[in-house]
Amino acid sequence: MKVLNKENFYDEINKDKLVVVDFWAEWCMPCHMLAPVLEKLEKEFKDVEFAKLNTDENPEIAMQYGIFSIPTVLMFYKGEIVNSFVGAMPESVVRREIEKALEKVKNEGN
């Protein structure tokens, strides 16, 4: 998973593909539970970019997107949020949310 910060965040989320961003912090136990799920799905969804942003190190970005609970996952396409969820979800739920976002992206292109 690509590590995001204020230098590269906006370039990454404005890509012409789905970008799944995990907003997390080192002290957050649910974040540590979600990370391996996202890493596994990253191998499965080859045309989706997976990235993470440490909210303690980048509070201005977290505030801009209204991140108050972590983990929060925002899914971007061309800079726009197309889906999101909050909390450590089971793999099946995370997969379904990514598939929903991909469907929105595909429909936008038609």
- Whether 28 is a known active-site residue: answer yes
User: What are the beta bridge partners of residue 39?
Assistant: none
Give residue limits of the domains in the chain.
2-108
**Fold classified for 2-108:** Glutaredoxin (3.40.30)
Determine which one of 4, 18, 20, 31 is catalytic. Answer: 31
Whole-Å CA distances, 70 to 15, 67, 78, 88, 103: 24, 7, 23, 9, 25
Percent of the chain predicted with pLDDT > 70 = 98
Determine which one of 13, 18, 19, 28 is catalytic. Answer: 28
d(CA 93, CA 110): 26
Is pLDDT above 60 for 19?
yes
CB atoms within 10 A of CB 108: 11
Global model pTM greater than 0.75:
yes
19-24 and 72-77: which strand pairing?
antiparallel
- Whether 26 is a known active-site residue: answer no
pLDDT of residue 110: 55
